Chain A
Amino acid sequence: MLIIKNLKASIAGKCILKGISLNVKPGEIHAIMGPNGSGKSTLAAVLVGREFVEITEGTVTYLGKNLLEMAAEDRAKEGIFLGFQYPIEIPGVSMVNFMKTAVNEHRKFKGLEPLSASDFLKMMREKKELVEIDSKLANRSVNEGFSGGEKKKNEIFQMAMLEPKLAILDETDSGLDIDALRIVANGVNKIKRPDNSFIVITHYQRLLDYIVPDVVHVLYDGRIVKTAGKELALELEEKGYDWIKKEVENNIVA
C-alpha cells in the first residue's frame, strides 16, 4: 500500500529525516515510536503533503502512485487521512458544513452523487455513535472551544466519516485521560478493516494496549533504528529509549 524508500527531508534547511524506508501492506497496523525530536511528526507531515517540509531524496509510492507529486487534497481523496497532533480551531465553520463538503468531495472523486441532506445526517449520526462523540460537538464550529480530548475524538470522528485506506495518527494519545484514550482506541478498532492500514505515531506504549500493532518501528535521529513485533513496545515502556540510543551510537562507532 505504502512504500517509502530512503526518504530524506529537511525543514528550513535542517535535515530531519535521514533516510527512511518503510513498507506498509493492506490491513497492517504500524506503530512508530521514538523520543522527542526524532522526526515522527515530520514523517507524517511528508505523507500528507505539508509544504514546509522539503524532500531532498527518496521516493514514496502509495497504491502504485508517486505520492510526493500529489496535492494534499488529492492525497486525502485517494484515502490518506491524518489525525492531527494539534487539531486547528476554525471559528465560523460548522462541523456539519465542513464534513458535508469533505464527504461530497470524496464522493465526487469516486464518481458518486453528493449525499442528500437526510442521508448525510444519518451518516453523521451513525459515525458519532461509533466513536462515542457528543452529539452537540457536531453542531459547533470546527474544534472551537473543544477540550483537548474532544479535539482528538473529533479527529477519530472525521476519520470514521471519510473511511480512509491509510490513516496516520500523529500522537493522538497525547493529552488524553484513560477514558478518552479508550474511546479513541475503540473508534480506531471499529474502523479497522482487513484492507485498510494504520500508522500510529506515539511516545508511549499505553495506546498500543488498545490498538495492537503488527509492526513496531523505533525512529531516532531521522532514521528507523529498530523494527520488531508488538513486544518491542513493551520493552521500550520498560527500559525507555536510552538503550536504543546507546545501541545506535555503538553501531556508529563500530
Chain B
Amino acid sequence: MNGISEVTERYLQLYKDNIEKISGISSKYINSFRAGAFEKFRELGIPTKKNEAYKYTNLNIFFDHDYKSYFLPVESDFVKAEKFRCDVADLDTHGIVLLNGFYPTINDKLRQLPSGVWVGSLNEAATKFADKIEKHYGKYAKSETDGLIHLNTAMASDGIFIYVPEGVILTKPIQIVDLVQADDDMFNQHRNLIIIEKSAQISLIICDHTLSPHKSLTNAVTEVFVGENAHFDIIRVQNEHNNAGKITHTFIHQEKNSTASSNNMTLHGGLIRNSTYHHLGGDGAESHSYGLFLADKFQHVDNFVNVDHAFPNCTSSQLFKGVLDDMATGAFNGRILVRPGAQGTLAYQKSNSILLTDDAKMDTKPQLEIFADDVKCSHGATVGQLDSEALFYLQSRGINKREARLMLMFGFAHEVIQNIKIEPLRDRMDNLVMQRLKGDLSRCASCVVRCT
C-alpha cells in the first residue's frame, strides 16, 4: 500500500533508532515478537478517525509530536521512584511502582509475596518463568485493526509481571502506581502480564500519574489470563494533567466459570483512551466492564470496550458514565460480539452521559454483532442534562441549586463507583469525585503520590 502517514513514519523511525537498546534488555522470547509486530504496525499505522474504533478520537494531538526521548532508565531514576508512597488512607495494598514503564528497582526485581504470588519486572520474569511467559505472552493482545497494539509489542521494554498460583486467594489488593516522570517530552510504552491460575483470586489497582509537567504519551498494553473458576478485578485510576496522553489496552482472557471486572476511573487527563477487551473464552464466564470519567476544558476521554462471547452461557455487562463540562469531548464505543454457538448469552450495555454546557460533546456507539439465537442482549445510551425534576425535589428541601446539582452529579457518578469492592478505595474515589465536581481539586492535592 502507499501512504504511510507522516506521523506513523515518526514511530517507524523511533523503532529503528531504539530497537537495539530495547532488545538488549529483553528476553529472546519477547524479542521474537518484535519484527513481526513492527511489520504489522507499518501496515496499520497510527489509527486515524477513519478507523471505526477511533472514529471520535484525534490521536495526532499527542502522537504527532517530537518526543525527545524514548525512555530507557538509568540507575538514578530508580532511586527516585522507590521513594514514592501512596497516601490513600487505610488502603492496605502490596504496592509496586512502575516508572515510565519500568520496574524501578535495582535488586529484587521479582519477589514472592507470603501468599505465594509473584510480582515484579516482566523482563526479569521472562528468564525466571520462561515457560509461563511462553504460554501467555502475546496470546491475548491481538488486533487486526489497531496499530498501537503492535507498536507496543514491537517496542515495549518492561512492565509488571504478576503470577498467582492455583487456588491462591490474595485478600490484599496489588497496587501498581504507574508514574511518568521525565525532564523532557517523553513517549513510553510498557507491557504488563498477569496470570491468575485456576481458582485463584486477586484485585489489582493501577494508578496512572504523570508527575512532570512535560508533554508525555504512554501506550500501554496489559494482558490478563484468568484461569478456570478464578476471580480478577482491575481498577484503573487516572488523574493526569492536560499535557499527559494515556492510551491503555487491557486484554482480559477468561476461562470457564471465571469472573472478572474492569473499572476505569478517569478524573483528569489531556487525552485518554482506554480500550478494554473481554474475551469470554470458557463456558459460564462472567465479565463486568465499568467506566467513569469527568472531563472539562479541552480534555478528551474515549472508552472502547470489546466483549467477545466466544462460549455458551456467559454473562457480560458494561456500565459507562461521563460528566462533561466546558468544551470537553467524550466517546464511548461498546461492542458485543456473540459468536456462533455461544448460546445462553446474557449481555448488557449502558452508557449515560451528562453534558453541563452546550459546547461539551459526547459520541456513543453501541455495536452488537450476534451470531447465536438463544441470546439476551440489551443496550441503552443517554446523553443529556441533569434531571430537572430531581433538581427541584432537592431544592424543595432547602438545598441550593449549586449544591443540588453537585449532589445529582455525584449520585450519577456514584453508580459506577459503588462497584468498587475495596472500601477505602471506594471512599477515596467518592471523595475525589466530589472534590473534582466542586472544582476545588488541584492535580497535586489529589495525587495519590506524595512527591516530597
Q: What is A's interface to B at a CB cutoff of 8 Å?
A: 48-50, 71-73, 75-77, 81-82, 84, 87-88, 90-93, 97-98, 101-102, 105-106, 109, 141-142, 158, 162
Contact = CB atoms under 8 A, between A and B. Distances in A.
Query: Closest 7 CB pairs between A and B?
Result: A92-B411, A76-B398, A93-B411, A92-B414, A102-B397, A88-B393, A72-B395
B407 A73 contact: no
A88 B389 contact: yes
A87 B396 CA distance: 11
A96 to B, nearest CB: 12
A175 to B, nearest CB: 18
B373 interface: no
Q: Which of A73, A141, A158 has the most CB of B within 10 A?
A: A73
Given A87-B393, A88-B389, A88-B393, A93 B408 contact: yes
Contacts of A93: 394, 407-408, 410-411, 414
B97 to A, nearest CB: 33
Nearest to A82: B396
A92 B415 contact: yes
Nearest to A72: B395
Interface string B385-400: 0010110111111111
Contacts of A76: 395-398
B178 to A, nearest CB: 29
B403 interface: yes
B411 A73 contact: no
Given A73-B400, A101-B399, A105-B403, A90 B410 contact: no
Nearest to A88: B393
B28 interface: no
Nearest to A109: B398
B63 interface: no
Contact of A105 (B387, B389, B398, B415): B398
B252 interface: no
Contact of A77 (B390, B394, B398, B415): B398
Given A92-B410, A98-B407, A73 B393 contact: no
A101 B393 CA distance: 13
A97 B407 contact: yes
Nearest to B411: A92
B392 A50 contact: yes
Given A93-B410, A101-B407, A141-B411, A88 B401 contact: no
Nearest to A102: B397
Given A92-B413, A92-B415, 15 more contacts: A49-B396, A50-B392, A71-B395, A71-B401, A72-B395, A73-B399, A91-B411, A93-B394, A93-B408, A97-B407, A101-B399, A102-B397, A102-B399, A105-B399, A105-B403
Nearest to A89: B390
Interface of B: 387, 389-390, 392-401, 403-404, 407-408, 410-415, 418
A66 B413 CA distance: 38
Contacts of B411: 90-93, 141
A102 B398 contact: yes
B410 A158 contact: no
Given A76-B395, A76-B397, A162-B398, A92 B403 contact: no
Given A90-B408, A92-B412, A92-B413, A162 B397 contact: yes
12 contacts: A73-B399, A82-B396, A84-B396, A88-B389, A91-B412, A93-B407, A101-B399, A102-B399, A105-B398, A105-B399, A105-B403, A162-B398
A48 B393 CA distance: 10
B390 A90 contact: yes
A162 to B, nearest CB: 7
B399 A88 contact: no
B397 A98 contact: yes
B419 to A, nearest CB: 12
Contacts of A105: 398-400, 403
A71 B398 CA distance: 10
A147 to B, nearest CB: 18
B359 to A, nearest CB: 24
A97 B411 CA distance: 10
B404 to A, nearest CB: 8
A50 B393 CA distance: 10
A76 B415 CA distance: 28
A84 B396 CA distance: 10
B290 to A, nearest CB: 14
B323 to A, nearest CB: 12
Contacts of A141: 411
B182 to A, nearest CB: 39
Contact of B415 (A75, A87, A91): A91
Nearest to A74: B398
A82 B397 CA distance: 8
A132 B407 CA distance: 27
B414 to A, nearest CB: 4
Contacts of B418: 92
Contacts of A88: 387, 389-390, 393
A42 to B, nearest CB: 15
Nearest to A107: B398
A238 B408 CA distance: 46
A141 to B, nearest CB: 7
A81 B397 CA distance: 7
B394 A98 contact: yes
B413 A73 contact: no
A138 to B, nearest CB: 15
Given A93-B408, A141-B411, A84 B398 contact: no
A114 to B, nearest CB: 13
A72 B415 CA distance: 28
A73 B408 contact: no
Contacts of B401: 71, 73
A247 B392 CA distance: 38
A82 B394 CA distance: 11
Contacts of A50: 392
A75 B400 CA distance: 11
A72 to B, nearest CB: 4
B336 to A, nearest CB: 24
A101 B403 contact: yes
Nearest to A93: B411
Given A93-B408, A98-B407, A84 B393 contact: yes
B132 to A, nearest CB: 42
Contacts of B412: 91-92
